[in-house]
Structure 1
Amino acid sequence: MKPVTTSNQWRTEGRVALQALHAPRASRVLARLLLLLLGLTAVLLVVTPWQQNIPGTGRVIAYSPEERPQNVQTPIDGRIAQWYVVEGSPVKKGDPIVDLTDNDPSIMQRLAEERESLVRSITETERRMRAIEQRVAGLKDTQVTGVEAADLRVRMARERVSAADQALSAAKAAKYTADLNLERQRALEKKGLTSTRFVELAELEAATRVADVDRAVAALNAARAEQSSLDQERLRTGADAGTRIDEAWAAHASAASDLAKARADLTRLDVRVARQATQKVHAPVDGTVWRVVARQNGEYLKAGATLVVIVPTTSRTVVELYLNGNDVPMVRQGRTVRLQFEGWPALQFSGWPSVAVGTFGGRVLLVDATDDGKGKFRVLVEPDPNDEPWPAAQYLRQGVRANGWVLLDVVSLGYELWRQFNGFPPVVAMEDPDGGKDADGNVVKVKGAK
């Protein structure tokens, strides 16, 4: 029979067995290295600097709108007669591009004849206006003369009325005297102191004086009627002269309207002649012909149709980058940017721009006030005067793609990893973006910024 072992014996034997076991040396070294590497990584994450940046993509454009691609359009209706350029041809401002021809070969002659007719019409209208003005002056003189003559006749009529009134007074006085004499003769006849003949002569004298009074009254009434008639004639003379003057001025206004219309027609015709005269289209700027749009096959072109597209010679180029809307509040004018141009060899370390190769410095020139409709905001970047110049124009053509990194503040690598893991926006300054102060006026510090 085997001897029976107790629980204490089992424990003792197990402890002895564990003490007899030893971990391999390589395992112990690997564990120590892993612990050392973990600690070193933690230290590096804390002390290693990281340049925060906002990435964006875009292209090279001309800063001035006048130096961006321009469409050269036909100024008149017509057809293409001859081209002077092809795609890729360099042109200077004023160089001929294309000759146009009108459908009517005699259009210029017809326009010249129409212009001559309008000039004659303007001359005749001006002459008619001067004649009307002279007529108005004559009518005014006639009006003055006629009114003065009517006034003279009215004054003469008033004098005749005054004379007739005086004659009536004299006739009444003579009648009164004759009546007194008749009464006296009749009284003497009753007393037998005078003869019947003297009475009869007194009666004849009284009757004569009555007739004289009646004639004087009739003459006074006639003079007054003549005066009233002459007054009306004077008013009619002034009114008739004024009517003729108004009619003359109406004719003058009508002539002035015709003159203005003729001059407007002449101006429009001159514009048309000028447009027809520009049948040779010239380059508006220095540049290179990019696209020839119109065709020389008898195709009829309307005024305003595009003939060619010219890319002007650029004097100042910038890069337009499109950034995410989450990052745009951190971007301000003057921020430093690193750029990598398409077709130019480069090696970029976004967190350590100092060790990048083949990138170029830029500076934020403008941030658009609104997005492009897709949540992206455009940022214009100009060359940094304190950095290496950008590549020459032969490498940096308009439309060349570019990658950019807007540089922000320097933080620890660990903080940057933590920020990106949590999806927080970059830290851009020691102070809050809206002035760096809270409601109490205290400066707000941003955690993690150095």
Structure 2
Amino acid sequence: MLNISNHPTNRDEILKDLSSYQEVMGSHATRKFVFLLSGIFLMLFIGLFLPWTQNIRARGTLTTLRPENREQSINSVISGRIEKWYIREGQLLSRGDTILHISEMKTEYLDPRLVDKTKNQAVAKRASVDAYSNKGIALDQQMAALERNKKLKLMQAKNYIRQAVLKRQSDSIDYSTTLINLEIAERQFTRQETLYNQGLKSLTELESRRQKLQAALNKKISAENKWLASQNEYINAQLSLGAVENEFNQKIAKVRSDKMSALSGEMDAESQFNKLSIQQESYSKRSNFYFITAPQDGYVTKAISGGIGEIVKEGQEIFTFVPSNYNMAVELNVRPLDLPLIQEGSKVRLQFDGWPALVFNGWPDMSFGTFGGKIVAYDKVARNGTFRVLIVPDEDEVPWPSLLRLGSGVYGIALLNNVPVWYELWRQLNGFPPDFYAKDDKETKVKK
């Protein structure tokens, strides 16, 4: 092996003998190539210090901001049979335009005069309610009259009792008087009889005293009969008072029972009337479901059940409908790792499928064919491993194309912090998340 490191003179001589070395060192193209590589490396080195805009990239679709403006399924409220279509798919409709006619198929709704007959039943039941109400009013009036009569009859019976008490007292006094008179007559007769036996009085005077004694005894018996009769009248008056009270209580109780029956009948009739009214309203509303109309201005995109005579069930999807007036929005699916970097109001660059664009991820100002957007909302719960982010057009940017259609694909770039290129390469090699910045009123804070 040739060693030329320790002998400079020999090294030069040996190198001169090498023809390859002579050819390479003598070529001007080689020197230019070396200078070119050096310039490229210098430019790459300088490029490492250029600014780079960090971003989050995600795929999504075009949608609408408000739920009622998105594609919706129109279902049949009732079961029925398809009779006629009044439109074709893709036709522009105004709100209220008739789309489809469905006929009835349930036997309980086949009567064409079902609503009118139910209404007549409700009217008749309403009259029954009024009749029961009037009967209750009449019973109230009857009860009031019975109460008044009871009060008068009781007053009359109490007066009879009072009269009987006074008469009994009067007869009692008369009876007591006859007892006293009888006692006096007996003593007078006894004295007269004693004097007669002694010869001091005549027989005529004795018989006169005996006659007076007999008269006093007769008065006593008569007064006693009257007194006993007055006592019976008092007892009868008390019995009459109880009988009057019992009689009117029975009548009033019967009237109250009739009133309760009337109230029960009225409430039952009211319940049936309400039931019939509900049925009438339901039948009337059901008749409105035979014709399906456009809920708003829009297009029928696809008929699910389209055949004439085809049976549709209650709640079955018939066709899909897309409104014609809506506010366009973008729905991006963001990874959970990038969700903490998403904020409402953040700027987003969007590239729509079918629209030519040249995108530089790190230099959004140099990209063209993209459109501006602004984040307005994002889901708080992940679906299928991603979070949904809603984006609307940025009012300060160029308006989105008017020919965009719902469901088209979108490529979104959420702009974050500006960092050097070398830092971004270092972050990508290490798998670190992008930097996040939040602005306040005074300064911009960088959070890592």
TM-score class, shorter-chain normalisation, is 0.7 to 0.9
Structure 2 residue 28 is matched with structure 1 residue 18: no
Residues 179-223 of structure 1: per-residue CA shift (max 9 Å, x gap): 133224323433446543244235424433442453244223312
Distance in 1 (CA, whole Å) between partners of 2:189 and 2:312 is 124
SS class of match (1:407):
strand
Q: Structure 1 residues 159-168 or 133-142, which shifts more?
A: 133-142
Match of 2:146 among 118, 137, 142: 142
Distance change in 2, residues 1:181/1:71 (3 Å): same
CA contact (8 A) 1:175 1:213 kept: no
Q: Is the 8 A contact 1:51 1:411 kept in 2?
A: yes
Deviation track 1:384-440 (CA, whole Å, cap 9, x = no partner) reads 000000010xx2111111110111111111111212222222112168xxx99xxxx
CA distance in 1 between partners of 2:80 and 2:5 (Å): 114
Amino acid paired to 1:151: M
Q: 1:174 aligns with which of 164, 172, 178?
A: 178
Q: What is the 5 A alignment of 1:27-426?
A: 37-38=40-41, 40-45=43-48, 47-103=49-105, 107-192=111-196, 195-253=205-263, 254-372=265-383, 374-392=384-402, 395-426=403-434
Query: Is residue 128–residue 266 contact of structure 2 (8 Å, CA) maintained in 1?
Result: no
CA contact (8 A) 1:319 1:382 kept: yes
Classify 1:226/1:260 alpha carbon distance in 2 versus 1 (closer, same or farther; 3 Å): same
Q: How many residues align?
A: 425
Corresponding letter in the other structure for 1:18:
R
| Residue 68 (structure 1) shift | 1.3
TM-score calculated relative to the size of structure 2: 0.85
Q: Is the 8 A contact 2:53 2:363 kept in 1?
A: yes
Q: Identity, % of aligned pairs?
A: 24
Cα separation, 2, equivalents of 1:280 and 1:13: 106
What is the SS of the residue equivalent to 2:57? strand
**1:234 Cα deviation after fit:** 3.1
What one-letter code is carried by the residue in structure 2 that aligns with 1:84? Y
Give distance in 1, aligned partners of 2:391 and 2:5: 79
Partner in structure 2 of residue 5 of structure 1:
none
8 Å contact 1:95–1:283 — kept in the other structure? yes
Check the 8 A contact 2:118/2:279 in 1, yes or no. Answer: no
Give the AA of the match of 1:48. L
| TM-score calculated relative to the size of structure 1 | 0.85
Please state how far the C-alpha of 1:370 moved relative to its aligned partner. Answer: 1.4
Looking at structure 1, the residues matched to 67 and 213 of structure 2 have their Cα atoms a distance apart, in angstroms, of: 122
240 and 328 in structure 1: CA distance in 2 versus 1, 3 angstrom threshold: same
Separation of aligned partners in 1, 2:94 and 2:116: 33
State the 1:168 CA deviation.
Answer: 1.1
Retained in 1: the 8 A contact 2:125–2:272? Answer: no
Q: Distance in 1 between matches of 2:44 and 2:413?
A: 27
Give the 3-state SS of the residue equivalent to 1:263 in structure 2. Answer: helix
Distance 2:126 2:313 in 1: 32
Q: Residues 126 and 259 of structure 1 are in contact (CA less than 8 Å); yes or no, is this contact kept in structure 2?
A: no
* Alignment gaps of 5+ in structure 2: none
The alignment partner of 1:425 has SS state of coil
State whether residues 4 and 10 of structure 2, in contact with CA within 8 Å, keep that contact through their aligned partners in structure 1: no
Structure 1 CA distance for aligned equivalents of residues 6 and 258 of structure 2? 145
Report which stretch shifted further, 326-335 or 240-249. Answer: 240-249
> 1:320, CA displacement in angstroms?
0.9
Return 205-214 or 355-364, whichever deviates more: 205-214
Q: 1:180 to 1:263 in 2, by over 3 A?
A: same
Q: Give unmatched runs, 5+ long, in structure 1.
A: 1-9, 437-442
Alpha carbons of 1:13 and 1:350: their partners in 2 closer, same or farther (altered >3 Å)?
Answer: closer
Q: For residues 14 and 287 of structure 1, what CA distance do their matches in structure 2 show?
A: 94
